[in-house]
Chains A and B, each alone.
Chain A
Amino acid sequence: MIEVEGLTKRYGRKLAVDHLSFQVRPGVVTGFLGPNGAGKSTTMRMMLDLDNPTSGSVRINGQGYHDLPDPLKHIGALLEAKAMHGGRTAYNNLLCLAQSNRIPRRRVDEVLDMVGLTAVAKKKSKGFSLGMGQRLGIASALLGNPEILMFDEPVNGLDPEGIHWIRNLMKALAAEGRTIFVSSHLMSEMALTADHLIVIGQGRLLANTSMADFIHQNSRSYARLRSPQPEQLRDVLRDAGYAVTEAGGGALEIDGAETERLGELAAEHRIVLHELSAQRASLEEAFMQMTAESVEYHAHTGGEEPGGQLPPGGGWGPEQAPQQAQQPAWGQGWNQGGRDGRRDKEI
Chain B
Amino acid sequence: MTLDSKIPSGPIAEKWDKHRFEMKLINPANKRKYSVIVVGTGLAGASAAASLAELGYEVTAFCYNDSARRAHSIAAQGGINAAKNYPNDGDSIYRLFYDTVKGGDFRAREANVYRLAQVSNNIIDQCVAQGVPFAREYGGYLDNRSFGGAQVSRTFYARGQTGQQLLLGAYSALMRQTGLGNVKLYCRHEMMEVVLVDGHARGVVMRDMVTGKIASYAADAVILATGGYANVFFLSTNAIACNVTAAYRAYKKGAGFANPCYTQIHPTCIPVSGDHQSKLTLMSESLRNDGRIWVPKAKADKRNPNDIPEEERDYYLERKYPSFGNLSPRDISSRSAKEACDDGRGVGQSGYGVNLDFRDAINRLGKHVIEERYGNLFQMYERITGEDPYSVPMRIYPAAHYTMGGLWVDYNLMSNVPGLHVLGEANFSDHGANRLGASALMQGLADGYFVIPYTIGHYLASYKKEKVTTDHPEFRKAEEEVRGRIGSLLSLNGSRTVASIHRELGNIMWEYCGMGRNETGLKKALELIPALREEFWQNAKVVGDGESLNNALERAGRVADFLEFSELMCHDALARNESCGGHFREEYQTEDGEALRNDEEYAHVAAWEFTGVGSKPNLHKEPLVFENVKLQTRSYK
Is chain B a partner of chain A in the same complex?
no
Which residues does B use to contact A, with CB under 8 Å?
none
Which residues does A use to contact B, with CB under 8 Å?
none
